[in-house]
Structure 1
């Protein structure tokens, strides 16, 4: 399926009011003297929140967790969006070199200990960022998993940080409609069948039998019995 075909199927939605509500929230946090940051994986649907941040306040730092395992297409997408949207993107990564991220048999952790791999490369680096800030903006949505479906727009996170989920109630149709309406770049892997893109070793194409607008994450950690990397569980309350 082509990228244009996906975009053309998105339904009509007006976004100006939604963006204004987010702008009001962020202005309130700033007026309270809170230090704000955002995180992004720069996967296909990340562009929506990134564009909104660029419109409301592009000085807000956007942290990208560089796991050393991203698709080359994701790195290219990160660089394209940072330039196009004028974002303040900051790369962070684990202090543990990739060659030392192995199990007792010398196998890479992502093969048999994916939870540990995610913790080292995502949770630990971002935890350091949390301790220096007050508000964490991230683009999770309820339709993405059963865990996320239980989350609220504002929640207390680890180290007293306020987790702010401004597009929590958006569905995939809204996401791709926004991308189409704002003429934003689309991650090149979407046209190849990837709707949710994480690290290369743990990401497959989405299940083609799933509905197009199902917020499908079936390609993430396929066969590993997990749906979350720990950012939105370990770094919760």
Structure 2
């Protein structure tokens, strides 16, 4: 995989985003700032710095993730905007005083991921999202575009990329990996709900470990079936 390979792979993405901008659409990128997030941020930044990057700050992220976000924002000169829940953490506990991430993780994700993104979706037209089909069965069923809430359009430019594409694109452009990846964290979400992955395990195996949960809701509730 060389520069020519990736030029061919990214050309349709550049064209599509350029068309959206030419139509006067208001775009944004949603990013969790994991290793696999960085190529999309690099591609979008090469097109326009005016496209904001929204980071959903749940308040439960690993400190490493926050530092990595700041590092990438500076390195790529990104316009990163953090969005947070309006519900304070002291109100995010059940009757026993346990945080919802332990007793009701779906409600925790609603409060800290879905709700904070809704005002952005109301204001914007196009949500550029880095989901990949090889990450889960849910994502495998997605198309390149899909209708989102409040009249938005979801655009999934990385849908047909795979781990090898991500790795070699980062290598070609000297883009760093999330610091926890070297410790075995291959899919990194909130610290209480993320575990290391077995060497032969699925990339997202460590998310919501021990729970009957594979998605936070961003890609199940904020998409038209």
RMSD: 1.2
Partners of 1:119 and 1:143 in 2: how far apart? 24
| Other structure's SS at 1:64 match | strand
Q: Distance in 1 between matches of 2:211 and 2:48?
A: 38
Shift of 1:90: 0.2
TM-score by length of 2: 0.96
* 1:196 shift after superposition: 0.5
The aligned counterpart of 2:205 is 218
Aligned with residue 107 of structure 2, among 102, 116, 121? 116
Verify the 8 A CA contact 1:102 1:109 in the aligned structure 2: yes
Whole-Å Cα distance in 2 between the matches of residues 126 and 21 of structure 1?
A: 27
Deviation digits for residues 10-48 of structure 1 (CA, Å, limit 9, x no counterpart): x66721122221111011112222111110011221111
Q: Which residue of 2 aligns with 1:145?
A: 136
Give the count of matched residue pairs.
223
Unaligned runs of 5+ in 1: 1-10
CA distance in structure 2 between the partners assigned to 1:146 and 1:20 by the alignment: 27
2:74 is equivalent to residue 87 of structure 1 = no
Partners of 1:233 and 1:159 in 2: how far apart? Answer: 15
Q: Which runs of 4+ in 1 moved over 6 A?
A: none
1:73 and 2:60 are equivalent in the alignment: no
Which consecutive unaligned segments of at least 5 residues does structure 2 have?
none
Equivalent runs, 1:107-186 vs 2, <5 Å: 107-186=98-177
Higher relative contact order at CA 8 Å, sep ≥6: structure 1 or structure 2?
Answer: 1
- CA shift, 1:208, in A, is 2.1
Alignment TM-score, normalising by the size of structure 1:
0.91
